[in-house]
Structure 1
């Protein structure tokens, strides 16, 4: 079969899984052949002789196994990042969190940032790429995540700007460290929430935040306040704005704001503490 025929035939099997079945088949073919999309379309009428490899990938994708895990990479902020099983897959809405951090960091002298729950390292790596003279401490409790984040830092040549530490939130962070900002995309889904099939393949400890879902977020707010860190930026669940806003009444806060994601759901907040 030609590449064109393969795309047409196999895309039928992914119609119930994705709204771009043909595009996904093309992505898988490019992954197998180690070619880009331009090459693919220039060679659309050539024979494709790696059907067995494609069949294995399609079989997995048919079961809603994430495309990013199949090809080992994901796009974030226009850059390519390595992705691996047992580490959360980057989401486009996290780009907004990075944007918000950049707006604050570019106006300040102290550019020491702590990222809690670094995962694949996308937030820390992008901040390191976009902010001059930044110093980042990136923590996670997942050894696989830390290993992958280090790989992504090296891939983007920013490993000298980021210190990776295994830590549960602030536990292993030096109390004397002069941190200006904490940033986090922590687990914030309620434990009893029924996940879509594709998300079930991702690590549960990067998704579930407790019985209600916002427990870890509240812990981060508590500890950030105690450590007298000026800024806290976090992602959150779409239904957590009101309870978190009420919770902020317990703290000495100069200013705070919530933001929405690309779908207009409440998705995160910025807190400026009074120091």
Structure 2
């Protein structure tokens, strides 16, 4: 079987299974097995595949057709222009989460040392990216899941940020940091209400870690906890950035206002025009 024949057959099967971008998916799976980027996959279209390569491609195509996310199959996902390792113990980084990074880089001085905390770090994509984009910054990756924390540490080491990042296993609801010790707190906490499970994409519900997705009290329990912890550990003038659900903007702004320690409270929208990021400054 030639590579182009595999890609054609795999795209047909993935289309039948309802997979998005089936041709691209087939190319990425082929590149993963053959160790080629997309361009070289195109150039190698007439390559004869060895039997072990065919077997590997068939197995990966079957996994994707069954609904397993492509990022878990490939073991990585791009975030802010860099590839981050991911496993089923971590959420898959999403483009809308880049808004947290973009906002931090916009609002905080470029040539300025700063210590930040990434609460519920998961794969570490937010905290690692902040360190790489701002060489003067140091940070803490805080994550309750031990397997996820291992992934975050590995990403920090692979991408060259480990020297300026501490990784700590702890609950975002009880952050072991001193009051006023951070200039920035950033978090993408669980924020989906349990009652909204039926609205979550099937492959997300089946494969991604529920503890990183769902939160009690209408999806606000972890957001409330991060706000409470940020009010304690931020220094005066420090910035809090929170990702939240598209319908949660008013509720999150009210939670921030009710602490009486934040001002400049605002909501930013993602590229889809949906409320996605809350920001506030500690008074």
Match of 1:169 in 2: 172
Q: 1:272 to 1:206 in 2, by over 3 A?
A: same
Q: Deviations over 1:41-78 (max 9, x none)?
A: 11101112322111111111112100000011111111
Give the superposed CA RMSD.
1.6
| Equivalent-residue separation in structure 1 for 2:156 and 2:243 (angstroms) | 22
| Equivalent-residue separation in structure 1 for 2:73 and 2:234 (angstroms) | 42
| Equivalent-residue separation in structure 2 for 1:29 and 1:191 (angstroms) | 37
| Correspondence 1:253 to 2:259 | no
Match of 1:12 in 2: 12
Given the two structures, how large is their TM-score scaled by the length of structure 1? 0.95
Question: What's the secondary structure of 1:60's corresponding residue?
Answer: helix
Q: Which has the higher helix share?
A: 2
Question: What's the secondary structure of 1:88's corresponding residue?
Answer: coil
Unpaired segments ≥5 residues, structure 2: none
Question: 192-201 or 139-148: which moved more?
Answer: 192-201
Question: 205-214 or 100-109: which moved more?
Answer: 100-109
| Correspondence 1:221 to 2:227 | yes
Is the 8 Å Cα contact of residues 105 and 111 (structure 1) preserved in structure 2?
A: no
Q: 1:138 to 1:53 in 2, by over 3 A?
A: same
Q: 1:108 to 1:219 in 2, by over 3 A?
A: farther
Residue-pair matches, total: 274
Unpaired segments ≥5 residues, structure 1: none
Is the 8 Å Cα contact of residues 138 and 162 (structure 1) preserved in structure 2?
A: yes
Match of 2:47 in 1: 46
Question: 120-129 or 219-228: which moved more?
Answer: 219-228
Structure 1 outlier segments of 4+, above 4 Å: none
Is the 8 Å Cα contact of residues 177 and 233 (structure 2) preserved in structure 1?
A: no
- The alpha carbon displacement at 1:253 in A equals 2.4
Q: Deviations over 1:78-108 (max 9, x none)?
A: 1111111211111011111101111233257
Q: Deviations over 1:136-180 (max 9, x none)?
A: 011000111110011111111110010000110152523256211
| Equivalent-residue separation in structure 1 for 2:89 and 2:61 (angstroms) | 21
Q: 1:107 to 1:54 in 2, by over 3 A?
A: closer
